[in-house]
Amino acid sequence: MSMTVKQTVHLLLLARDAGLPGELESALAELPEEQQCVLHTEFELRRGIEFARNRQPDVVLIELDSNAAEARRAAAEITDISTAPLVVGLYRGQDLEEGNSAATLIELMRVHFRDFLRRPLSAPEIEGLLRRHLWNEPQQSESRGKVLSFVGNKGGVGKTTISLNTACALARKAPDRVLLVDASLQHGSSHELLDLSPSSNICDAARQVDRLDEHLLRTLSAPHSCGLRLLAAPPNAVDAAPVDDQVLARILAVGRRAFDYVVVDTFPIIDSVTIAVLDVSDLVFVVFDDFVPSVRGASDLLQILQQLGVSNERLRVVLNHSQGGFRGRLRDTDVSDRLGCQLDHVVPHSRRVLTSTNEGSPYVLRAPRRWGFGRAIDRLANSVLRSHSVTGSTNGFAADRESTS
């Protein structure tokens, strides 16, 4: 994707923590060479405000801690400058009001802060911020992001693993442009598989659905070091009560404006929430494993999806070999014959996927891309990227199916 890049970005950091400049410098050093940043740091607030007035940096980064009043005042004075810079808050979850960090960030956004970066700082997060605000990317003819949903007829077939690793693979190719929505409202586990402890979840979006916009959605989502953002599931099914089909449709509508790709992991049941996801999905990935009951269930699910109006052009069939080789194991051709359709993607078994699940580190981020699990997920992600580059989502996806089967 071509873009107009300002070659040098001047940053002013207002900090209390003596270790913060080094943390920021380390993240900036990982940006591509053509994306040059010049950093100036001030530990005294008044000196920082005067620097902003006199030197007019492009971005002012303000550390947020338990005393946010000074940060608010500084942001207000800086935004009064005639050529006001972009004001960004840097925060740790524990630095904000205990248990209410999302609400605190929303309040700060109302008073001059344009965006936020969570610590520890990472290059993908910083690059994404600069892309959004300073590096003016030309609008494409298809401005909406793509919604990719992963569905299954039963639990334990690897649907969450496949969807999460696919989202990570996409985020590695498009940093800060991929949102993973954990819509498995009964028992979401994506945050655990990513080793994240989000301070907000999909229920916070539901409670503020009337004013949900791109900035608020980004604030409510948790960043991962690979460049992915996660809108987590609620901690239990009782808390999920406010999330209905209309809420989820609104979240996805805002998500596709804020991100290039919105990946949705669904709960294995066809209810109103799942139907709302299916209605707006550009691609629906049906995931199942190579056991006879699962294959039969996938066959039934494909028929149900077609009855719900999900066309063949939007459907993708994903066979996940969740177990190692065993006597009587179905061959891929056997599965295809039983389903009466081709397999679009086949994901081979890897014991390291199970290890990565327990470690909270998606295996695709370190798996070899030339064979095995890493190659299969990379192919799946690349098929989505190719599809997105074709004008007209349905025709584009249909053409891509022939090239990846």
**Other residues' Cβ atoms within 10 Å of the Cβ of residue 82:** 6
139 in any annotated domain? no
109 in any annotated domain? yes
DSSP annotation of 209 reads G
Mind listing the pLDDT tens digit for each residue in 300-309? 999 999 888 8
Per-residue model confidence (pLDDT) at position 20: 94
99: domain CATH number?
3.40.50.2300
Radius of gyration for the alpha carbons in the chain, expressed in angstroms and rounded: 22
209 in any annotated domain? yes
Per-residue model confidence (pLDDT) at position 143: 55
Same-domain pairing of 99 and 211:
no
Where does residue 309 fall: left (phi above 0), alpha (psi -120 to 50 degrees), or beta otherwise?
Answer: left
Of 133, 160, 178, the one marking the end of a domain is 133
Which two three-digit tokens encode residue 20? 């913060």
141 in any annotated domain? no
Total domains present in the chain:
2
226: domain CATH number?
3.40.50.300
Mind listing the pLDDT tens digit for each residue in 166-176? 999 999 999 99
State residue 326 phi and psi, 5-degree precision: -155, 160
Mind listing the pLDDT tens digit for each residue in 99-142? 455 666 666 666 678 888 888 999 988 988 888 888 755 444 44
3 in any annotated domain? no
Per-residue model confidence (pLDDT) at position 3: 41
Of 108, 133, 158, the one marking the end of a domain is 133
* Its pTM surpasses 0.75: no
**In which band, very low, low, confident or very high, does the pLDDT at 4 lie, cut at 50, 70 and 90?**
very low
Same-domain pairing of 179 and 297:
yes
Same-domain pairing of 64 and 167:
no
Same-domain pairing of 169 and 118:
no
Same-domain pairing of 160 and 259:
yes
Of 106, 133, 160, the one marking the end of a domain is 133
Same-domain pairing of 98 and 193:
no
1 in any annotated domain? no
Same-domain pairing of 280 and 318:
yes
Domain that holds residue 52: 8-133
